[in-house]
Chain A
């Protein structure tokens, strides 16, 4: 399989008052063409930072990229100028954002916003763009397109807005889609609908996806392969079956255990509740501070990703 996205030695830091904090440290990560790759981790793990880094939307400062290569179709995105990035954003790589409530501009109707993007990105005329917008509304299964297109974002529900954002992400023929927790801030029934829509669109358009989520089970509905991110580092990587059925890293175990389930008398939150230390240790495993199985070596040496069978990798000494 050909790799569409290949990340190597990526280090992204934030400069704060207390000094420089590393938020992303990825040795190697690649997403094959046509694949759906899931990225799971708790809040603050660096998932969204990775999404922004790929699109070069990081607020610089305080963030800065220390080193690394992000190869997309064999070209390093980090070396691209702002003008070149504009040709890539939306047209080759597009993104669905977390919070549908604030992703649309409140002062324009949804129709105006969609047609403007179509006019600019695809050079369509106004009438063509309007027609295409209606088609897009049908694509994301929004009934009564003309009515929806004439409404302002605040007149629509969260689910409707997220569908419009999905329509925008699919509007300009991007081959690579970053979905950053697209079901966040939506209630459960709508989550299911939006997730199903995304899954269908992925199947139909054969787009490559980087799906970001904090719930492994939810991610497993969409993705083929999954990576577990903890404090900017990949701790486990493998096919969805391997990771979900046989989680090997202690962090993955706690993540899975934190999902509330029926019949389980009590949810064990003891481990996950252990807070990550404010500052990163200078050496050793980044998870060691919260790990219940930690040993001496964990505090001294940083574990590298090691192969444990199939396509399954973990970064743990044990």
Chain B
């Protein structure tokens, strides 16, 4: 291996026989009702402290504002003045139905469209936070998730601007960085993460990534058949700048509308060119010094 050949830590690479299938989240925002049970369950299970004084943002029902050191799930609320396609749901029939399948033909109506989405750490395949961490505090678990070892982190803060999603953050008053662990402790005991467990509509689904991807494809197909032309899967594939994500989403509009980057990339993808530029610049330093002394004393 050379300095410019920088492999992403492989999954299960350090776990010999203990590697497990890669686990993740599929967040289907089309059935999110904005109840914030995920935010509450996450805080309670993980003992995440208060994230500052209560503020009313004025941005719809979102007073959580953003993911951060003390917010590991964040429900976004978007109000759009856009003709809506609302399924004419017969409540009795819906109650009798066993799945969330869209059965009715949607009708275009005037008015507002309300998008809700629960955001979370993406547990990237090529995780910039993990790759830039100089202490090894951030590591890849046997489930393929990315977790901070709090007894190692020294609060250097390098992961904070490295994350292309603005997820990880240094906690005021503590000095270390924190983010979603995908409930590493619960996973070890064969349980699902608190947020997925609390989600009343199964908007947040947890499971082996392969299975989630199949489920997401089927769901997308059903929505598109039902006329939701804007529906799309975000971060489902591995052909993107982060090499795929452990947490991916079904969105009903462009990612940036939800505060997500449209085409995120891990910064270390470009690291070979960065190191090359640094080496060339170091060469310029040497050359400049040599040239300066070559001119004599005066």
Is A bound to B?
Answer: no
Question: A residues engaging B (CB < 8 A)?
Answer: none
